[in-house]
Chain A
Amino acid sequence: SQQGEEDPQALSIQEGENATMNCSYKTSINNLQWYRQNSGRGLVHLILIRSNEREKHSGRLRVTLDTSKKSSSLLITASRAADTASYFCATDATNAGKSTFGDGTTLTVKP
């Protein structure tokens, strides 16, 4: 079974709006990572947040982590058409030795 599950499965917004997607997981983790995948391409790393961190920023991206709720959120501010992609969370579970990916959120940003 998937460790990380993203919500919503699909999100459609207008350019300039903010996009928020969530990831829930089941077991304790070392870190949680967010990746972007453009159509037909491999995944590109966006942000890694460690279990002892609560928030990280990178440009227009903001990631939060709530280990008590076993959840994370990715916020993209002032979205652009180029942000259209699928976004995946990956959890590095404690003592698992590997990361597990969710099924992703497909984001469409309309010009």
Chain B
Amino acid sequence: NAGVTQTPKFRVLKTGQSMTLLCAQDMNHEYMYWYRQDPGMGLRLIHYSVGEGTTAKGEVPDGYNVSRLKKQNFLLGLESAAPSQTSVYFCASQGGDRNQPQHFGDGTRLSIL
């Protein structure tokens, strides 16, 4: 049982480049989340999804887009990367009851030069 898998684990981009981070979960969870974590800080919610085909903005959505075409996958896109988007990105999934824990991937470490 893999749980939540994030790819890639590391990536270095140049300013202005685009890329997509992939999150896959095999627990048939309804809810999925993308967070960013900056050094010494907690997680800030970028976007989230409460089901296949739905997405919503979190606290810090600017510069990011997401898609949830399949229930098991949640994609995070950076259209034009900026140095301020250098961070560690975590994906999480949660069952369809908000009184369930979130399950996290191990993160994607992204550096924008």
A contacts, CB < 8 Å to B: 2, 30-31, 33, 35, 40-45, 48, 50, 88, 90, 92, 97-104
- Is there contact, CB below 8 Å, between A102 and B105? no
* Closest A residue to B48 using CB positions: A98
Q: Are B42 and A103 in contact (CB under 8 A)?
A: yes
The answer for the CA separation of A97 and B50 in the assembled complex, in Å, is 9
Q: A90 vs B40: C-alpha distance in the bound complex, in angstroms?
A: 16
User: B101 and A48: CB pair below 8 A?
Assistant: yes
**Please, how many residues of chain B have a CB less than 8 angstroms from a CB on the other chain?**
26
Measured between alpha carbons, how far is A101 from B58 in the docked complex, in Å? 12
Does B98 lie within 8 Å of A44, measured CB to CB?
no
Q: Classify the secondary structure of A's interface with B.
A: strand
Tally the A-B contacts, defined by beta carbons under 8 Å.
Answer: 58
Q: Is the CB of B42 within 8 A of A48?
A: no
Interface 1/0s, chain B 84-113, versus A by CB < 8 A? 000000101000001111111111000000
B27 within 8 Å of A (CB atoms): no
A99 x B42 contact (CB < 8 A): no
Given A98-B58, A103-B42, check contact A42 B50 (CB 8 Å).
no
CB < 8 Å neighbour of B45 from A41, A100, A104: A100
- Shortest beta-carbon distance from B44 to chain A in Å: 8
